[in-house]
Structures are given as C-alpha cells and as structure tokens.
Amino acid sequence: MEQIGTFGASRTTIRDLQLFRDETDPAIAALVAGCAVVRLASGERIDDGGQARLYIVLAGQLEIASDAHAGEDASEGTSRILPGESAGEQAVLDDAANLAAMTALEDTELLVIEPELVWTLIERSNVLARNLLRLLSFRIRAANALLRRRRKLGEFYRQLSLNDPLTGLYNRAWLNEMLPKLAARAATDGSPLSLVMIDLDHFKRFNDTHGHMAGDAALAAAAGVIRGALRPSDFAVRYGGEEMLAVLPDTPPELAAMVAERLCRRLRLAVVFPDMRLPLPHLTGSFGVASLMAGDDERSLMAAADAALYRAKEAGRDRVCA
C-alpha cells in the first residue's frame, strides 16, 4: 500500500463520497482535502496493524473478509466496497482495532481518514453524522437478516439430521433426544406413554431374494403404513435397519395394543411396487407393545417393548405381543 497523493489532488469530489453526500460546507471539504490517498494492487491486503481508520474507495473494489463458519456459504460473510463507499467506520466509532481483513479485488485507490479527523468531521458536519447513522442502520439490518437466514438454515439442517432420508421417519438421533423428554413429561403429568416396536419379518431374506432396490421400497412402504395409521400427536421412527417404532403419547396400554393390531393388519396389505408384473410377497411385521409404568424411564420402556417384540417373533411373527 503506497501513498500516491492527497484527496485535494484527486478528480473525485467530496460529494461523490457516500458519507459526504449533500455536504455543501467548503470547510468540511478543506479538512478532507489533506487526507492521504493510497493505492493497492489487485490482491493486496490493507496492512495497517489493525489500527482504526476510515477507508473510502475512490476507484476499484475492496472485499471485506468473511466471518462465515465452517459449512456456511463464505460469500454470505463477505461484502464488496465499491467507489464512493466506505469501510472501517465501526472500528473508528468503537476506538477498537480494525480486525476485518480488507483485500483489493482489482487495482484500487483509497482515501484514508484518521480517527481523530473522523470525530472532528462528525462534530462539524450534520450531513456526515446523518449519513453515517443511515449507513450503520442499513448494516445492522443486513446483519440481522443474515443472522435470521443462518438460524433458518441451521434449523433446516438440524431437521434433516433428525430424519431418516429413505423413509422420511424420525431417526434414532431424534429418539435419543426426544424419548427421555416424553417419558419425563409423562411421569410428571401422570399421563400414559406407550411404545410399539416393529420388526419387518424375514427382511434379510426379502432383500437377498429381490434385491436392495426392492428392499428400500419395502422399507418406504412400511414407513408409509405406519405414518398413515398414527395420529398427528404420535411419532413414527426408524430405529435402524428394518426396525421401526411408534411413539404414542397419552396412550394407555389397551389403546396401544389396538394401534399395533391395526398396524399389523395394514402392513399385510402394503403394496411395495404397484406396477410390478411379478408380485412380491406381502410384508408382515412383528410388534412389541409396552407402556411406561410408575418409576420407569425411557430405557426401561424400550427394554419392555424389545422384550415384547421378541415374544412376538418367538410366537411365529406377523403378530402383536405386549
């Protein structure tokens, strides 16, 4: 970065600068006229040791460094400063080091105003003070909009991380997070909480015989049956492999058993590929039903449902056991 002159010798006038737009006081122009103008080569960074200074682009472009985190779009955290626009105002106002990395995107000329003069200009120019407030207000709104987008994006990715991509059901990560909360709430409120654990019968044989594409379609069909048979307040989960769960808040054991029987019947009728010429065997499942008992937690509830599922398999599969 080399000084090539002062602003008074520049072809740019003070009213071409965003911060001084509408300024007519010749005394203000005289104060700015003695400020240094420097040149940056394309790709060169401003090296000022972090000192607070106000920079105004006279020609070329500056890029302000990204503050994006890993996994975010880096372009969201960068900004381009075009001719007439400024950078470094916040550092001057805060009397803090300017830590933002600023790089010339092409050969660039900058007006450099030292912080002491910035405060003098603010005190003497109502126009500058008003323009500065407008600029900072705009940047605050832009920063808030960026934060809102990041929060929405973060929530979007969080939701993706809690859903199984094949079936669209909640996944085990969701279960690990939510089942303890549901169990604790049920225990506190004294409300019933039931669980139906489902295992598709002989699924490995189905996969080996008909291929993984048919196996994936069968899992998706089974998930559709389960999801379609539950209430809006219930939750369908893919626990892993061919195992799925129905989490039933506010559901006593008798009603949970009825839900499981309905699921068992509907699964027998599930169509995997409606347009296939060669029919596939009907899907069936084994169902284990358990309900939260006094003094139990989510681990004991899961263990009880797993034990009931084992009994259903031992009894011949395609059935419900509690």
Contact of 20 with 32, CB cutoff 8 Å: yes
CA 301, 304, 308, 310: dihedral to nearest 10 degrees? 110
Q: Which residue(s) pair with 321 in the sheet?
A: 288
Longest Cα separation, the chain:
97
Q: What b-and-e string marks burial along 52-80, b requiring 16 or more CB atoms within 10 Å of the CB?
A: bbbbbbbbbbbbbebeeeeebeeeeeebe
Closest to 289 (Cα-Cα) out of 270, 266, 269, 264: 264
Sequence-ordered alpha helix ranges (H) in the chain: 26-33, 89-94, 115-124, 126-161, 172-189, 203-210, 212-229, 253-268, 298-314
Catalytic residue among 23, 109, 242, 298: 242
Say how many C-beta atoms besides its own lie within 10 A of residue 296's C-beta: 17
For the question of residue 242 being annotated catalytic, the response is yes
Looking at residue 175, its amino acid is L
Query: Tokens at residue 9, please?
Result: 């010798």
Q: Which residues are catalytic?
A: 242
